[in-house]
């Protein structure tokens, strides 16, 4: 990645982590707030909030309007990880190189911390979005947020994923899982960024397609890394897909063909930006970081 793009990534990550820290207080009862903060502030690539902020900036010249929404999406993403890691779901001990929430605290705290984040995230959108954004637009963003978080998107993906363990699923089912489990939040990020950046329908649709390609590339890389990476590099347990007999892109296409698909999806994503005259080093940088990701 070029030095100038790397610097922009670092600046965004710094801003996002500072705002997440600021938005999440420690109140009574401390344990629940601390467990929410533990997972939200545990690092991570912050790709989703970065996509939201940059999309808004590239369209309107400023990202200030999008900061609460960007942070809310990261909280939602964290919530889904906390609950995914629970013993009754993926039963993971490590996430982002640290103990998972239920291992650090307790299972009941992890369930409740996830629940609390699910309410707190949209609350932040309402309370912290600047008054310069119309109420209409805040409601539109909230609606997209809540749909993406729910049983029509994120949770639909998770449910079908769990149901598919140990089963021979077809490519359509695998695509459904990834479009919803991973794609939904990438789409939400650019769509809300675009709404807050006053984009027209055509641009919103183009960015949605961009996010679709990118989300799928991200997920295929996830499958690849689960095969090729170590716990140290990955920050979470590798080799889980095989252990849980999960059908992945690798099982359909093999490692080499999967890598080619990532490259092709990343190219398609960048082409969409170019065709729609959306010029952003950060958006293309995110795509590049996916094709080159090692964790």
Quick one: which of 8, 55, 101, 158 contacts its own copies (CB under 8 A)? 158
Q: Residue 94 corresponds to which tokens in the numbers above?
A: 């490590």
Site string for its own copies, 113-152 (x = CB under 8 A): -xxx-xxx-xx--xx-------xx-xx--xx--xx-xxxx
DSSP class of 99: E
C-alpha distances out from residue 95 to 38, 82, 83, 237, Å? 11, 9, 12, 8
* CB atoms closer than 10 angstroms to residue 5: 17
Q: Are 36 and 174 in contact (CB under 8 A)?
A: no
Q: Residue 250 corresponds to which tokens in the numbers above?
A: 């690798």
Instruction: Determine if 109 is a binding residue for its own copies (CB under 8 A).
Output: yes
Site string for its own copies, 84-103 (x = CB under 8 A): --x-xx--------------
Quick one: which of 36, 42, 211, 224 contacts its own copies (CB under 8 A)? 36
> For residues 134 and 230, which CB has a smaller minimum distance to its own copies in the complex?
134
Q: Are 185 and 211 in contact (CB under 8 A)?
A: no
Instruction: Determine if 41 is a binding residue for its own copies (CB under 8 A).
Output: no
Q: State phi, psi for 292 to the nearest 5 degrees.
A: -105, 5
Quick one: which of 13, 99, 111, 209 contacts its own copies (CB under 8 A)? 111
DSSP characters for 107-173?
A: HHHHHHHHHHHHHHHHHHHHHHS-TTS-HHHHHHHHHHHHHHHSTTTHHHHHHHHHHHTTS---HHH
Instruction: Determine if 83 is a binding residue for its own copies (CB under 8 A).
Output: yes
Instruction: Determine if 18 is a binding residue for its own copies (CB under 8 A).
Output: no
**Residue 57 C-beta: closest distance to its own copies, Å:** 25
Instruction: Determine if 1 is a binding residue for its own copies (CB under 8 A).
Output: no
Positions in the binding site for its own copies (CB under 8 A): 27-29, 31-33, 36, 79, 83, 86, 88-89, 106-109, 111-112, 114-116, 118-120, 122-123, 126-127, 135-136, 138-139, 142-143, 146-147, 149-152, 155-156, 158-160, 162-163
């Amino acid at each position: 990645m070029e030095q100038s793009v790397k610097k922009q990534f670092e600046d965004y990550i710094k801003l996002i982590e500072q705002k997440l820290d600021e938005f999440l207080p420690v109140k009574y009862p401390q344990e629940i707030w601390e467990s929410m903060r533990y997972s939200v502030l545990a690092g991570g690539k912050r790709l989703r909030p970065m996509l939201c902020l940059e999309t808004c900036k590239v369209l309107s010249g400023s990202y200030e309007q999008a900061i609460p929404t960007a942070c809310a999406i990261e909280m939602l993403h964290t919530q889904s990880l906390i609950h995914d890691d629970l013993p009754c779901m993926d039963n993971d001990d490590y996430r982002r190189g640290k103990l998972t929430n239920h291992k650090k605290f307790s299972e009941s705290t992890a369930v409740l911390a996830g629940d609390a984040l699910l309410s707190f995230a949209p609350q932040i959108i309402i309370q912290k979005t600047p008054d310069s954004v119309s109420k209409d637009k805040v409601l539109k963003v909230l609606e997209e947020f809540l749909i993406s978080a729910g049983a029509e998107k994120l949770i639909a993906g998770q449910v079908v994923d769990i149901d598919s363990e140990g089963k021979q699923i077809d490519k359509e089912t695998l695509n459904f899982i990834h479009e919803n489990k991973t794609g939904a939040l990438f789409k939400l990020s650019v769509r809300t960024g675009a709404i807050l950046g006053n984009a027209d329908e055509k641009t919103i649709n183009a960015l949605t397609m961009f996010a679709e390609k990118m989300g799928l590339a991200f997920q295929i890389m996830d499958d690849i890394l689960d095969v090729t990476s170590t716990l140290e590099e990955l920050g979470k347990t590798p080799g889980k897909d095989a252990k849980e007999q999960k059908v992945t892109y690798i099982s359909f296409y093999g490692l080499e063909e999967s890598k080619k698909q990532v490259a092709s999806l990343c190219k398609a994503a960048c082409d969409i930006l170019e065709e729609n005259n959306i010029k952003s080093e950060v958006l293309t940088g995110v795509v590049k970081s996916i094709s080159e990701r090692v964790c």
